[in-house]
C-alpha cells in the first residue's frame, strides 16, 4: 500500500517542490498551509509521515508537533521538521525535545531527503510504538517555544526592515527619475481618469496635481482629439499590445494648446486582467509648429508656382526639365506640365527656334551664372512660333544635391509683334516726313540717311548703349526736317548765299525742334535736332551752347553731319572729298567737335574700312 505524507508549509513553492519529490517516489501527498489545517487533516486520515515547516501563520510547526505528540492517535506518526528559516542549534534541540524524529535543513538534495525519510519510516516500524519521548512540562514548553519563536520573528522583522529600506531606496530612485523627466508619465484607469502622473504632466498642463488627479482625458482634449485617443485606448485594450507614437493636442488650463507625442500600454492586475493604461507623452509643439510652418510655406510656394501667369521651371544641367508649372505648359501649347516634361525631355519637340539662342543662353549661364530678360523665338507644341523672355538663375538646392537651374519664362509674342508693327509704322512715318523735306530740297535727299548711318556707326564705335544708338540713328534721319520751312529757292540756290539767306537756313535747327518737340519719342530726338549745329567752343547755333551742355548724341550727330556734308556734293559746290572732311574734324578736334566722337569717326574711316554708302 502507498505511504501517505502530510506536508505543512505556508510557502506554495516549497509545497510544490516537496510534493513533486515525494510523488515521484511513489508516495501519496497531502498539503496544508499551516499547522492548524495540518492537524485537522492528520486527525482525519492519519498519514504515515508528517513533514512540517516551522514559521507558519495560525499555528507554527512547534505547536503543531506538540499537538500531534499530545494526541494519542497521532503520537506515533514520524514527525520531521524541514526548515531553513533563521535556524539555530537550539531550534533543533527544542524540536527533538518536543518529540520530533528529524530536523532537516533546507535545501536538501531530493535523493538525500527521500533516503532520510525512508530510513526513518523503516526504523519507526522496527521500534514500533515505544519510542515516543515523554512530553515536557507545559510551562517549560511555552518558555522555550516563545523564546525561539520570538528570536525567529525578531530576525524576520530585521530582514523585512532591511528589505523595506532597500525598496524605499529603489522607490526614491525611480520617483526621482520620474519626477525629473521632461516627458510626462501618466496612468489612467479603464475609464480614462488619471490615477498617477509625474510633475511634468502637471507643469505642462498648468493644473495643480490635486486638480489633475482623477481628471478624465476628455476634459483636457478637444472632442475630435479625445475620440482619436479613445480609439487608440480601445485598440490597446483589445490587442493587449502597446501603441507607439501617436500625436494629439491637449488643452492647457490657461486656454493654450500643446501637441503631444505618446505611447500607451495596458496596466494589468496580478491576475493579468487589464485595469488601466500607462504611457509617456513628449511635448512636440515646437516641432509641430515648425512642420506646420514648413507645410504652409510649401503650400504657398506651390500655389504661387501653380497659379503664376509666368512660366516657371526647374531643369538640371543636362537641359532636362525636372518640374514645370501650368503656365509654362500653356505658353508652349502643351496640355499639362507632365506632357511638357515628357515631350520636351524626350527630344520630340525642340524649344528654341534658333540653335544660336540656345547656345547664347548656355554661354551666359556659364560666363555670368544668370540669364536676364533674354528674348528668344520658340516653337509651340503645334510647331507655331512665338517669342519668350527668359530669366534663369542657379537653383538653391540642398547640400549634396545635383546643381540645377530655375527659369522664369514670359510669353512676349504679343508685345514683340506689336512693337514690330509700331516700329514699321514709325519708320513709315519718318520716311514720309523725310520724303517731304527731300521733295523740297533734292540735295538733302540721301544726306539725312547717310548722316544717320555715320552717326550710328560712331555711336556704336564709342560703345554707347543700344537705346542711345537707336535714338541717334532716328534723329539722324530727320535732323534737317526744319529745312521744310526754308524757301526752296534758297535751299537749291547754286550761287553763294547772302548772309541773310544763310541766316534763314540756320533757322532750320530751331524749326526742326519746334516740329518735333511735342512728339513723345523714347529718345531726346528734338534736342538732338536742335543741337546738331552747336559747337563745343560755343561758336555754333542756334544757342551757342558749350561742351557738356550739348547732348553727347548731338555732338556725335554734329561730327557725322560735317563729314557727310563735306565729303559729298552740295548744290552750291562740288564734293570736297573725304580726306578734307576728316582733316577738318581732326583740326577742330576738342575745339568745335567732341574729341571722342572725332576719334571714333577717324578709327572707322582709317582703320575699320568704313565707307559712306550711296
Ligand atoms: Fe543741318
Ligand atoms: Fe545736315
Distance 477 CA to ligand 2 centre (A): 9
How would you class 314 by CB atoms within 10 Å of its CB: exposed for 0-12, middle for 13-18, buried for 19 or more? middle
CA 434 to ligand 2 center in whole angstroms: 12
Using DSSP, state whether 352 is helix, strand or coil: strand
Pick the ligand that lies closest to the CA of residue 562. 2
506 CA to centre of ligand 1 in angstroms: 8
Domain boundaries, the chain: 4-154, 181-289, 309-411, 417-607
DSSP H/E element including 301: helix 285-307
Axis-axis angle for helices 466-478, 413-440 (nearest 10): 30
Ligand nearest to the CA of 449: 2
Whole-number Å distance between alpha carbons of 486 and 440: 9
Per-residue pLDDT, 389: 93
Measured in Å, residue 403 CA sits from the centre of ligand 2 at 57
The torsion defined by the Cα of 474, 477, 483 and 484, in degrees rounded to 10, comes to -90
Contacts of 530 (CB under 8 A, 6+ apart): 509, 510, 512, 513, 542, 554
Give 516 Cα–ligand 2 centroid separation in angstroms: 16
How far, in Å, CA of 363 to CA of 358, rounded? 9
Could you give the angle at which helices 61-70 and 89-97 cross, rounded to 10 degrees? 20
Ligand 2 centre distance from Cα of residue 480 (Å)? 5
Query: How far is Cα 336 from Cα 338, in angstroms, rounded to an integer?
Result: 5
Distance 449 CA to ligand 2 centre (A): 10
* 265 strand-pairing partners: 278
Ligand number nearest to the C-alpha of 564: 2
Q: What is the pLDDT of residues 432-476, one digit of tens each?
A: 878 877 787 777 768 888 999 999 999 999 999 888 998 999 899
Return the ligand number nearest the Cα of 512. Answer: 1
Helix intervals (H) in 51-129: 61-70, 89-97, 110-127
Q: Grid coordinates 503543531 are at which residue?
A: 64
What is the whole-number distance in angstroms between the Cα of residue 441 and the centre of ligand 2? 12
- What length is written for the chain? 614
Does domain 417-607 fall into CATH 1.10.3210.10?
A: yes
Pairwise CA distance, residues 360 & 368, whole Å: 11
- The answer to whether domain 181-289 has CATH 3.30.450.20 is yes
Spatial CB neighbours of 359, under 8 Å, sequence gap ≥ 6: none
> How many whole angstroms from 531 Cα to the centroid of ligand 1?
9
* Regions of the chain where pLDDT drops below 50: 129-131
Quote the ligand 1 centre to 5 CA distance (angstroms).
Answer: 145
Task: Work out the number of other CB atoms within 10 angstroms of the CB of residue 476.
Answer: 30
The span from the first CA to the last CA of the chain, in angstroms, equals: 149
- Residue 487 Cα to ligand 1 midpoint, Å, equals 15
* Contact status, residue 478 vs residue 448, Cβ threshold 8 Å: yes
| Sheet containing 79-83, strands listed edge to edge, beginning at the edge strand earlier in sequence | 28-32, 4-8, 49-52, 79-83, 102-105
486 alpha carbon, closest ligand: 1
**Dihedral sign, CA of 369, 375, 379, 381?**
positive
Q: Could you tell me which CATH class the domain 309-411 is placed in?
A: alpha beta
pLDDT of residue 583: 94
Asked if 181-289 and 417-607 have one fold, the answer is: no
Find the 498 Cα to ligand 1 centroid distance in Å.
18
Q: Which ligand is nearest to the CA of 483?
A: 1
Place of cell 513533486: 20
Give the model's pLDDT for residue 131: 47
CA angle 465, 466, 468 (to 5 degrees): 65
Cis peptide upstream of residue 392 (ω within 30 degrees of 0)? no
- For domain 4-154, the CATH architecture is 3-Layer(aba) Sandwich (3.40)
- Give which of 429, 433, 437, 469 is closest to 453, Cα–Cα: 469
Of 462, 501, 457, 506, the residue nearest 480 (C-alpha): 506
Residues 140-164 pLDDT 10s = 777 888 878 877 788 888 888 999 9
Residue 433 is placed in which grid cell? 516726313
Give 577 Cα–ligand 2 centroid separation in angstroms.
16
CA of 445 to the centre of ligand 2 (A): 11
Amino acid at each position: 500500500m502507498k505511504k501517505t505524507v502530510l506536508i505543512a508549509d505556508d510557502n506554495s513553492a516549497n509545497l510544490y517542490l516537496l510534493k513533486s519529490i515525494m510523488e515521484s517516489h511513489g508516495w501519496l501527498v497531502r498539503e496544508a498551509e499551516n499547522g492548524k489545517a495540518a492537524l485537522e487533516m492528520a486527525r482525519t486520515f492519519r498519514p504515515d509521515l508528517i513533514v512540517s515547516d516551522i514559521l507558519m501563520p495560525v499555528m507554527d510547526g512547534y505547536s503543531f508537533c506538540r499537538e500531534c505528540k499530545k494526541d494519542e492517535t497521532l503520537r506515533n506518526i514520524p514527525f520531521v521538521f524541514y526548515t531553513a528559516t533563521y535556524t539555530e542549534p537550539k531550534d533543533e534541540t527544542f524540536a527533538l525535545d518536543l518529540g520530533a524524529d528529524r530536523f532537516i535543513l533546507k535545501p536538501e538534495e531530493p535523493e538525500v531527503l527521500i533516503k532520510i525519510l525512508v530510513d526513518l519510516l523503516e526504523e519507526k516500524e522496527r521500534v514500533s510504538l515505544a519510542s515516543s519521548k515523554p512530553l515536557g512540562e507545559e510551562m517549560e514548553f511555552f518558555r522555550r517555544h516563545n523564546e525561539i519563536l520570538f528570536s525567529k520573528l525578531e530576525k524576520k522583522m530585521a530582514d523585512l526592515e532591511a528589505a523595506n529600506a532597500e525598496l524605499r531606496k529603489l522607490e526614491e530612485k525611480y520617483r526621482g527619475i520620474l519626477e525629473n523627466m521632461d516627458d510626462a508619465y501618466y496612468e489612467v484607469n479603464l475609464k480614462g481618469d488619471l490615477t498617477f502622473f509625474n510633475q511634468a504632466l502637471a507643469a505642462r498642463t498648468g493644473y495643480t496635481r490635486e486638480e489633475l488627479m482623477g481628471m478624465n482625458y476628455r476634459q483636457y482634449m478637444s472632442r475630435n482629439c479625445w475620440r482619436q485617443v479613445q480609439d487608440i485606448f480601445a485598440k490597446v485594450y483589445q490587442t493587449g499590445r502597446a501603441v507607439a507614437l501617436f500625436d494629439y493636442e491637449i488643452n492647457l488650463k490657461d486656454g493654450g494648446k500643446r501637441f503631444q507625442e505618446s505611447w500607451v500600454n495596458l496596466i494589468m492586475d496580478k491576475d493579468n486582467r487589464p485595469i488601466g493604461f500607462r504611457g509617456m507623452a513628449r511635448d512636440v509643439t515646437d516641432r509641430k509648429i515648425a512642420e506646420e510652418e514648413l507645410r504652409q510655406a510649401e503650400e504657398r510656394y506651390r500655389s504661387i508656382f501653380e497659379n503664376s501667369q509666368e512660366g516657371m521651371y526647374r531643369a538640371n544641367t543636362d537641359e532636362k526639365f525636372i518640374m514645370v508649372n501650368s503656365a509654362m505648359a500653356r505658353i508652349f501649347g502643351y496640355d499639362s506640365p507632365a506632357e511638357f516634361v515628357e515631350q520636351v525631355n524626350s527630344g520630340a519637340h525642340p524649344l528654341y527656334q534658333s540653335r544660336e539662342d540656345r547656345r547664347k543662353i548656355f554661354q551666359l549661364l556659364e560666363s555670368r551664372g544668370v540669364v536676364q530678360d533674354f528674348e528668344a523665338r520658340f516653337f509651340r507644341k503645334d510647331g507655331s512660333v512665338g517669342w519668350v523672355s527668359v530669366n534663369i538663375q542657379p537653383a538653391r538646392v540642398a547640400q549634396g544635391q545635383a546643381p540645377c537651374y530655375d527659369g522664369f519664362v514670359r510669353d512676349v509674342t504679343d508685345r514683340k509683334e506689336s512693337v514690330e508693327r509700331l516700329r514699321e509704322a514709325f519708320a513709315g512715318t519718318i520716311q514720309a516726313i523725310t520724303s517731304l523735306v527731300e521733295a523740297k530740297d533734292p540735295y538733302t535727299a540721301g544726306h539725312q540717311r547717310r548722316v544717320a548711318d555715320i552717326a550710328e556707326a560712331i555711336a556704336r564705335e564709342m560703345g554707347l548703349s543700344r537705346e542711345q544708338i537707336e535714338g541717334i540713328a532716328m534723329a539722324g534721319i530727320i535732323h534737317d526736317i526744319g529745312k521744310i520751312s526754308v524757301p526752296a529757292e534758297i535751299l537749291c540756290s547754286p550761287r553763294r548765299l547772302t548772309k541773310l539767306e544763310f541766316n534763314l537756313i540756320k533757322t532750320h535747327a530751331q524749326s526742326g525742334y519746334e516740329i518735333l518737340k511735342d512728339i513723345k519719342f523714347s529718345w531726346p530726338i528734338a534736342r538732338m535736332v536742335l543741337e546738331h549745329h552747336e559747337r563745343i567752343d560755343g561758336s555754333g547755333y542756334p544757342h551757342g551752347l558749350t561742351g557738356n551742355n550739348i547732348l553727347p548724341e548731338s555732338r556725335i550727330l554734329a561730327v557725322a553731319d560735317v563729314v557727310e556734308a563735306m565729303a559729298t556734293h552740295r548744290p552750291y559746290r562740288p564734293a570736297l572729298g573725304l580726306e578734307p572732311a576728316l582733316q577738318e574734324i581732326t583740326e577742330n578736334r576738342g575745339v568745335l567737335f567732341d574729341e571722342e566722337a572725332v576719334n571714333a569717326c577717324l578709327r572707322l574711316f582709317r582703320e575699320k574700312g568704313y565707307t559712306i554708302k550711296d
